[in-house]
Amino acid sequence: MPAELRIDAVGRIVFTRLFGVVTDDDFLSLTRFVVDSPEMRPGFSELCDLRDSTRVEISADALRRNLAMTEPLDRHPSRRSARIAVVAPDDAAFGVARMYESMRADSPVGVRAFRDVDDARDWLGLPRGDEDAPPSPGDSSRRVV
């Protein structure tokens, strides 16, 4: 699973876009990469885009392990304003996203699953339709394979 990752330090948001088959190992590697990234700060929100994934094979166990990895960030007071929007247009991916939303119900971080990217962008307070806009100053773009 290749993934595009862009951290916008100015806008305080992480954009991730996943491609192909997404497995537990891929998901946890990406989580670790984001958590360990020097640009990542606890109050950042995230737009996770699964529209280009062909299949999502993420287990409940991997979702729980993700929660354990992100728990130190979630405890930070600035994280209370953070949100995670997961765009998952197909039924299987949407089901995984809803499971993640449910697992994070007690977290200070708001999580919601969406089928439409513009609805996700609205919820995050982002302008519609500019997901392919060039990075702004303060952005760092990376490709994770």
pTM for the full predicted model: 0.86
Using only the alpha carbons of the chain, give its radius of gyration: 14
pLDDT reported for residue 81: 74
Instruction: Look up the domain containing 32 and give its range.
Output: 3-130
DSSP per residue, the chain = --EEEEEETTTTEEEEEEEEEEEHHHHHHHHHHHHH-TT--TT-EEEEEEEEEEEEE--HHHHHHHHHHHHHHHHSGGGGG-EEEEE--SHHHHHHHHHHHHHTTTSSSEEEEESSHHHHHHHHTPPTT-TTSPPPTTEEEEEE-
Question: 138 lies in a domain?
Answer: no
Question: 108 lies in a domain?
Answer: yes
The CATH number for 10's domain is 3.30.750.24
Question: 38 lies in a domain?
Answer: yes
Structure tokens at 76: 């930070």
Question: 140 lies in a domain?
Answer: no
pLDDT tens column, 36-61: 888 877 788 999 999 999 999 999 99
Question: 68 lies in a domain?
Answer: yes
| Cα separation, 115 vs 87, whole angstroms | 5
Question: 34 lies in a domain?
Answer: yes
pLDDT tens column, 79-115: 667 899 999 999 999 999 999 999 988 888 889 999 9
Q: Is 24 buried (19+), middle (13-18) or exposed (0-12) by CB count in 10 A?
A: middle
Question: 59 lies in a domain?
Answer: yes
Structural domain count, the chain: 1
pLDDT reported for residue 137: 47
Question: 137 lies in a domain?
Answer: no
